[in-house]
Amino acid sequence: MTPSTQNDAWNAGDSYEAFMGRWSRKVASRFLPWLGAGETLDWLEVGCGTGALSATILARCNPRSLIGIEQSAGFVATAQQNVTDARAAFQLGDGQALPLDDNSRDVVTSALVLNFIPDIPKALSEMRRVARPGGAVAFYVWDYPGGGLEFVRAFWRAATALDPNASGFAENTRFQFCTPHGLTELAQAAGLQAIECTALEVPTVFEDFENYWRPFTLGTGPAPGYCVSLADDARERLREKLHGDLPRREDGAIALRAKAWAIKAVAV
Ligand SMILES: C[S@@+](CC[C@H](N)C(=O)[O-])C[C@H]1O[C@@H](n2cnc3c(N)ncnc32)[C@H](O)[C@@H]1O
């Protein structure tokens, strides 16, 4: 663990759902029609978390089977609890050393994970290894460099204004490669073919400030991890700054947007 990764705490399924799961489900619904995979296929999801994309695959794509690999035991437990479909199996594992045979899955996918994996080329080469020739390898990450994950970008902007050290933890600083060019280059280096990239956008509407702020106080993910690491008075200053900074609609809601970059490619 490096200083910049020390807040990347992915453990508590309920906190993740409140912070990110509610939005990642919406992105999953945009991703799958674009991916356009067929029915009755064998899927693998790397870094399945609490099962947001897995549940969407099961609901929309009629898979023959779906394996979710995840490094957090807490998230595996939440995914098993949330997704009880008999076609799905969730297990502990590392995306850098997938516990699966070569050429064993038709669709290998990953949602909002790649930037958190220490050795990204290794993870992509593992995804390609387990995909059947002609199968699909596809993934998406938030548009961190472009500020496309607006609710998290607003958090870091306020945090950095109060504490310049916060910038070292911010995803927009750490994950500069999350652009169409950077992601395409990674896919090419992994030997993938017919690479396509698209933007996936969803609205993120928080009914009021508390609905925005509370998930940051639960500690799951880089920004919440940073938030709970602050002393009480520093956290209160951050809360007040965000309370003043964030734009409100007439009904009091905070209406922002979230954009991800998605890649789909063919394994050979
Ligand atoms: C932002 S969450 C995304 C979860 C889920 N895919 C979704 O769309 O909601 C990132 C996930 O990647 C997992 N992860 C990070 N590094 C991993 C690795 N090396 N192997 C497997 N999973 C990993 C984390 O534990 C976490 O569940």
What does the pLDDT look like over 20-64, one tens digit per residue? 989 999 999 999 999 999 999 999 999 999 999 999 999 999 999
Domains with residue ranges and CATH for the chain: 3-266 (3.40.50.150)
pLDDT score at 211: 96
Distance between Cα 113 and ligand 1 center (Å): 5
pLDDT tens for residues 212-261? 999 999 988 899 999 999 999 999 999 999 999 999 999 999 999 999 99
Tell me what the pLDDT averaged over the chain comes to. 94
pLDDT score at 10: 57
Confidence grade of residue 123 (pLDDT, cut at 50, 70, 90): very high
Q: Each residue of 148-184: b (16+ CB within 10 Å) or e? A: bbbbbbbbbbbbbeeeeebeebbbbebbebbbbeebb
CA 149, 45, 128, 34 dihedral sign is negative
pLDDT score at 221: 87
Confidence grade of residue 18 (pLDDT, cut at 50, 70, 90): confident
Q: Residue range 15-21: average pLDDT? A: 86
180 three-state secondary structure? helix
pLDDT tens for residues 60-80? 999 999 999 999 998 999 999
Distance between Cα 48 and ligand 1 center (Å): 6
Distance between Cα 36 and ligand 1 center (Å): 23
Q: Residues enclosing ligand 1, CB less than 6 A?
A: 10, 20-21, 24, 46-49, 52-53, 69-72, 75, 94-96, 111-113, 116-117
